Amino acid sequence: MKKIVLVIAGVALSSIALAAPSKKEVLSHYTDLAHAMYQDSLTSAKDLQEAINNLVAKPTEANLAAAKAAWKVSRVPYLQTEAYRFGNAIVDDWEGRVNAWPLDEGMIDYVSADYGDESDENPYYTANIVANKKLMIGGKEVDASKITKALLADTLHELDEIESNVATGYHAIEFLLWGQDLNGTGPGAGARPASDFDTKNCSRGNCDRRASYLTASTDLLIDDLSWMTNQWAAGGEARTTLMKGNAGEGIAAILTGMGSLSYGELAGERMKLGLMLHDPEEEHDCFSDNTHWSQYYDAKSVQNVYTGNYTRIDGSKVSGPSVSDLVAAKDTSVDKALRAKLNTTMAKMQVLVDSAEKDGVTYDQLIGEGNKAGNAKVMTAINALLAQTKDIEKAVTALNLEPIAFEGSDSLDTPKKVFE
Amino acid sequence: MNSNLNTITAIAFLLLHSVTQAPGAEITRATTDFSQPEEYELYPGGAATHARAADRRAYSHPSPNMSAERKLDFTLGKAMFKRLWVSAPTATQAADGLGPLFNARSCLRCHRHNGRGRPQDEVGKTANTLFLRLSIPPQNDEQRAELESRKVKAIPEPSYGGQLQKFAIRGLKSEGQVNIDYEEIKIKLADNESITLRKPSYTMTDLGYGPMHPDTMISPRMAPQMIGLGLLGAIKESDLSALADPEDHDGDGISGKLNRVWSREHNKVMPGRFGWKAGTVSVDEQSQSAFFDDIGISVPLFPDGAGECTESQVACRKVPNGNSPQYENLETPSQTTAWMALYARNLAVPQRRDLDAPKVLRGKKLFYESACIACHKPKFITADETIDPEHTRQLIWPYTDLLLHDMGEGLADKRPEGDASGREWRTAPLWGIGLSAVVNGNSYYLHDGRARTLLEAILWHGGEAQVSRDQVVEMTSSQRADLIQFIESL
């Protein structure tokens, strides 16, 4: 192993070009970026809250449309934070409250009869909290007469340890605004009428409870985003953990976040799976058909944390010392290659965005069985993510980060010895 | 956070491994020096060991030495593993086919956090993570010949098949329910201690398809921990046969034999390695059979769309199934089962904890000197050619010999499976077992989860393990604590 490291070091020495910022400076800017993104997420979630309050006060189609639009806007900054999730335990542990997916929507509200009621495996599959003031949970009766933040977050979310029992977060709100998308891989999103929230002219019953659910889950989202914003502010736990820890490990955490989001979460679970199964249930924003943007901004998130750039919701640009600078200082060609791969990915993601926004062919249609051209567009984006992952790994090597990951792992560093 | 970064380094190790000399037996010989940890002992899965936090996700990480492409396939396997199946027909050809009879709608339901199941839920109902295997003794020459040829491991109960499914899709009756009753048994230990074991007995109720055959034999099975499975598959067959001593020629009271069973994949008899009685030869076959028997999904090795419905369960055979022409006439095609098998083979073993603590080292000495290692074999070097490149030529520490041993009357299920008698069980791997409670929030051990602590599990050992078990009974209280501390550090 030592020999290999030496060879890499040799290559690196030959192409040193730029003066690098220190690792601490890079980490400091990384935490600043996080703070800006979560703050923007919070600001836009407050706009969403206002739109939802308007909808509940006056349930017109126009107000519903405004709330839906506000939801889509609120996703833009939030999705760009996703590269922080992997590599920062504090984010990963919290993420399930705000962005859990996929969800068994029958637990929250009415669903189409086709949804089925056979779930011995998940007894709360059709619990329908909106329609039921009393729920039986683990043999005990739970009072759900008032739908509150505490009921949703502490009692119902991930009920019985089942991950798909999602009671809170963006996707629960998305379902309450849009309703089920019953169009499969055909055109169209969920089509909930505004009268679902109209207590005077209630279309499907329990409009008061549905409205309470919507406002309580939105209030909870605000609480959760405020909390996370504070973790990245001066003195916050997320910032302190990174700044006080080993700087090399901190940089490694950034790259881990980039790699894990690229290959596993986005390319794997959120894209390739649905494509291979041609299953719209595997679509990330399945009620709103906003998936193309969610994928676009996830990819953007990886690019942001690498380059240290972020465009805030007010249009102002933030930039500073980045991992890219560190890599470039070691080996400009590795940095260039990775930047190029990140750009390629963004271009391929743009193709999916254009398909939805310009041609009206949304992601659930692109992955449909028999849609060869659509399938190919998605596969191209997946391959771009995979290609960038390999260049992320090269960046890890360029920064000589492996020995940190393998602290004290003599078993692996000296395999020859094992087999003599 | 370390795992991704391991990739490149670990690939370099593999390259180096492949040019080294054949390993000697010296490396895998059990140590006699307990003054300090052994070299490499920190990494029970070799380069496929993960160094992440010892939390509830400790059984859920991929082998850190996987390439990005393979990690992507791992995440697809993971997604399939948690996928909820629905009954046919639906608009989504790729997602239907549940049942008609089933025990769970997803793999994850029984294999929570890829950890152990539990016999009962918090309100005392039998949990989904435990089910019953069913069979009858051979009734005629034809059935005797079938067993003789090893093409089957047991003769299924004529109406209910090879296992009891507790659920059915809408419109069909489920096969029945299981009740567990526990009888308490008090055991006296040296140093004025005592412990209460609970002996389970099982009854089936609400049988949906008439009375069972009068000679029906049942065997309860709980979901095992799922880490390190690919590495167990990578142990050389010659190493396992060398350990086998079915006639006990060396006179140590430990026999040990391989369960030789039919491989559907390879169309021949091969050594069984997986399952509580080593009844299955590979992770892929184990995962496909569970998919078919427990969820009712047809797969390449078990293509019947009606799942485990028997000929006499007529209505069950008549309902629509999810076999689709564009998916190899199956409910789940080979591509998908390949992801799932890759996932199951590559759930990494966690790093050891506290292995240099004096009490752990004292416990290790007791474990070795009480001859626990006669079956719970510490070390192997995996084969030169393995299904997964991550598992090639690794020094691993699974603490099992994968052989069948007579475990005595107390644990006997009295239901043979292949070469395994009603008293024989496969030595369970012990790596990672110390994190069981962290991963699952509770820990139940042995094939039916009767043991609530590691000590209870040890005290259930009988038969070939009786002498070792009796030594534990005679230990001082602090020695027993050291022994448990060692096992918990695995």
Residue-wise pLDDT for B41-79, tens only, equals 999 999 999 988 888 889 999 998 888 788 889 999 998
3-state helix, strand, coil in chain B (%, to 5): 30, 20, 50
Q: How far is A148 from chain B (nearest CA, A)?
A: 26
- Residue of A114, A270, A391, A412 to mutate, interface with B, max B Cβ within 10 Å: A412
**pLDDT at B290 (0 to 100):** 95
Please report which confidence band the pLDDT of residue B19 belongs to, taking 50, 70 and 90 as the band edges: very low
Judge: A393–B7 Cβ closer than 8 Å, yes or no. Answer: yes
List the single range of A1-5, A195-199, B192-196, B403-407 with lowest mean pLDDT: A1-5
**pLDDT at A42 (0 to 100):** 98
Judge: A419–B27 Cβ closer than 8 Å, yes or no. Answer: yes
Please report which confidence band the pLDDT of residue B487 belongs to, taking 50, 70 and 90 as the band edges: very high
B142 has pLDDT over 70: yes
Can you tell me the mean pLDDT for B462-478?
97
The residue behind tokens 């049988």 is: B207
Q: How far is B35 from chain A (nearest CA, A)?
A: 19
Q: Are B97 and B204 in contact (CB under 8 A)?
A: no
The residue behind tokens 């996929």 is: A102
Can you tell me the mean pLDDT for A1-12?
41
- Report the SS3 class of residue B435: helix
Residue A407 is given by DSSP the state T
Q: How far is A410 from chain B (nearest CA, A)?
A: 7
Which residues of chain A have a CB within 8 Å of the CB of B43? 409, 411-412
Which residues of chain B have a CB within 8 Å of the CB of A409? 42-43, 51
Please report which confidence band the pLDDT of residue B160 belongs to, taking 50, 70 and 90 as the band edges: very high
Structure tokens at B24: 């000697």
Please report which confidence band the pLDDT of residue B181 belongs to, taking 50, 70 and 90 as the band edges: very high
Using a pLDDT cut of 70, give the percent of chain B over it: 93
B367 has pLDDT over 70: yes
With CA atoms as reference, the chain B residue closest to A367 would be: B92
Which residues of chain B have a CB within 8 Å of the CB of A264? 71-72, 74-75
Q: Are B458 and B469 in contact (CB under 8 A)?
A: yes
Which residues of chain A have a CB within 8 Å of the CB of B23? 418-419
More reliable by pLDDT, B258 or A157: B258
Can you tell me the mean pLDDT for A120-148?
70
Judge: B1–A419 Cβ closer than 8 Å, yes or no. Answer: no
Judge: B1–A256 Cβ closer than 8 Å, yes or no. Answer: yes
Mean pLDDT for chain B overall: 90
B186 has pLDDT over 90: yes
Judge: B8–A272 Cβ closer than 8 Å, yes or no. Answer: no
**pLDDT at B37 (0 to 100):** 96
Judge: B4–A256 Cβ closer than 8 Å, yes or no. Answer: yes
Q: At what angle do helices A207-232 and A170-178 cross, to 10 degrees?
A: 150
A121 has pLDDT over 50: no
Please report which confidence band the pLDDT of residue B338 belongs to, taking 50, 70 and 90 as the band edges: very high
Can you tell me the mean pLDDT for B368-391?
96
Best mean pLDDT range from B86-95, B172-181, B261-270: B261-270
Residues near B178 by beta carbon (within 8 Å), at least 6 away in sequence: B126, B130, B131, B132, B164, B166, B202, B203, B204, B205, B220
**pLDDT at B6 (0 to 100):** 41
Number of Cβ pairs closer than 8 Å across A and B? 178
**pLDDT at A2 (0 to 100):** 40
Helix then strand count (H, E) for chain A reads 18, 4
Distance separating alpha carbons of residues B218 and B203, to the nearest angstrom: 10
Q: Give the residue among B66, B189, B264 at the shortest CA–CA distance from B480.
A: B189
**pLDDT at A152 (0 to 100):** 84
With CA atoms as reference, the chain B residue closest to A413 would be: B13
Judge: A415–B79 Cβ closer than 8 Å, yes or no. Answer: no
With CA atoms as reference, the chain A residue closest to B127 would be: A121
Query: Which H or E run includes B131?
Result: strand B130-135
**pLDDT at A401 (0 to 100):** 80
- B197-214 confidence digits (pLDDT tens): 999 999 999 999 999 999
Partner residue facing A412 (CB), from B10, B72, B106: B10
Q: How far is B317 from chain A (nearest CA, A)?
A: 19
Which residues of chain B have a CB within 8 Å of the CB of A268? 71-76, 79
A405 has pLDDT over 50: no
Q: How many residues does chain A have?
A: 420
Residues near B85 by beta carbon (within 8 Å), at least 6 away in sequence: B95, B96, B97, B98, B105, B106, B295, B296, B297
Q: Give the residue among B200, B202, B128 at the shortest CA–CA distance from B165.
A: B128
**pLDDT at B444 (0 to 100):** 95
More reliable by pLDDT, B92 or A131: A131
Structure tokens at B61: 């990480």
- A20-34 confidence digits (pLDDT tens): 899 999 999 999 999
What is the ipTM score, two decimals?
0.71
Helix then strand count (H, E) for chain B reads 14, 14
Please report which confidence band the pLDDT of residue B448 belongs to, taking 50, 70 and 90 as the band edges: very high
Structure tokens at B125: 């109902």
Long-range contacts, stretch B179-183, CB < 8 angstroms, 24+ apart: B179/B126, B179/B203, B179/B204, B179/B205, B180/B119, B180/B120, B180/B126, B182/B450
Q: How many residues does chain B have?
A: 490
Distance separating alpha carbons of residues B220 and B203, to the nearest angstrom: 11
B278 has pLDDT over 70: yes
**pLDDT at A418 (0 to 100):** 41
- Residue A20 burial (CB < 10 Å; 0-12/13-18/19+)? middle
Q: How far is CA A245 from CA A167, A220, A241, A342, A405, in A?
A: 35, 31, 6, 28, 14
